[in-house]
Amino acid sequence: MKTDSLRALVLACGLLLGSAHTACAADAQAASALEVQQPGRLRIAVYDSFPPYSAKGRGIDIALGRELARRVGLEPEVVEFKADEDMNDDLRNMVWKGHYLGTRPADVMLHVPVDKRLADANEQVKIFGPYHLESLAIVRDPKRVPPVTGSAAKALEVFTREKVGVEVASLADDFLLGALNGRLRSNVTHFPTVAEAVAGLQRGDVVAVMATRAEIEAALGQQGAGRFELTPVSMPELRIKGWALGMAVKAEHEALADALGKAMMDVQRDGTLVRIFAEHGVTHQTP
């Protein structure tokens, strides 16, 4: 049976050789029409030191970028870069202009908020292809911290007595330092990264950690999931409920944007995107 199946496969390949060659030629022609800096290659910008999205050659955005490159017929070239002061600077440095120190821009940048105000402020780029809905979450020791729900006055009152961990200079950091008229400041414990904050929770240094859901999930892992409770942060005082992550190319690169947009829809439709997130310990959230 195995021999017969192999023979049938060989025959089928022989019969289809002409049409397969034509399809490959068409794919190569389509890829050559894309506005990329180096023929046959897609230069992909991702943030460095940003697990689980991108760090030291591994992460969700890196895997996704490589998959998108493959689907548009190009070889991936991943560039990890350091974040600048704000997203406007990052788009200038890595998409439409390049860094003043000499770093040339990429063909596409991932992890860009799909936000109208950001797009309006950066007419030199096209922002598109939402692939994940990011949001703030809180992971807590249920023995020490009740469910964090309701208004900030109710939900966060426990942190006037207990310590909560955050990554320094993050959205969660800004929110907690300003909440309850600054009453939580002495109990907001700062860590260099979300992973270190979660490690502090596991050691008992803090009773909760507030950060993005994806970063908490990846840092917590399966071992800590049963011991701690992870829930979304939802309260009237927090105006940002969530933000869609997408990608950006130069505004005039319409063919590249169209090809990448279609490839993104394909990876969403066939389950590849969910698989990539799961392989990095993160639950994919549809924008």
- Residue entry with tokens 């992909």: 44
Query: Is domain 32-134+244-279 given the CATH code 3.40.190.10 in the classification?
Result: yes
Pick 3 or 183 by higher pLDDT: 183
- Does 224 have pLDDT greater than 90? no
Q: For residues 35 and 217, what is the distance between their CA atoms, to the nearest angstrom? A: 37
Does 32-134+244-279 match 136-232 in CATH topology?
yes
Report d(CA 197, CA 259) in Å as an integer: 39
pLDDT at 12 over 50: no
Domain assignments of the chain as residue spans, ordered by start = 32-134+244-279, 136-232
- pLDDT 10s digits, 80-113: 999 999 999 999 999 999 988 778 999 999 999 9
Secondary structure (3-state) at 190: strand
Q: Which CATH class is domain 136-232?
A: alpha beta
Residue among 223, 213, 229, 214 at smallest CA distance from 145: 229
Give the separation between CA 257 and CA 107, rounded to whole angstroms.
10
- Distance (Å, whole) CA 231 – CA 157: 17
pLDDT value at 182 more than 90: yes
15-69 confidence digits (pLDDT tens): 333 444 434 444 554 666 899 999 999 999 999 999 999 999 999 999 999 999 9
Q: Which residue has the higher pLDDT, 5 or 275?
A: 275
In terms of Cβ atoms closer than 10 Å to its own Cβ (0-12, 13-18, 19+), residue 19 is: exposed
Residue 14 pLDDT level (bands cut at 50, 70, 90): very low
138 strand-pairing partners:
210, 231
Distance CA 186, CA 161 (A): 9
Angstrom CA distances, 173 to 79, 108, 273, stand at 28, 30, 30
pLDDT of residue 102: 78
Integer Cα distance of 101 and 276 in angstroms: 34
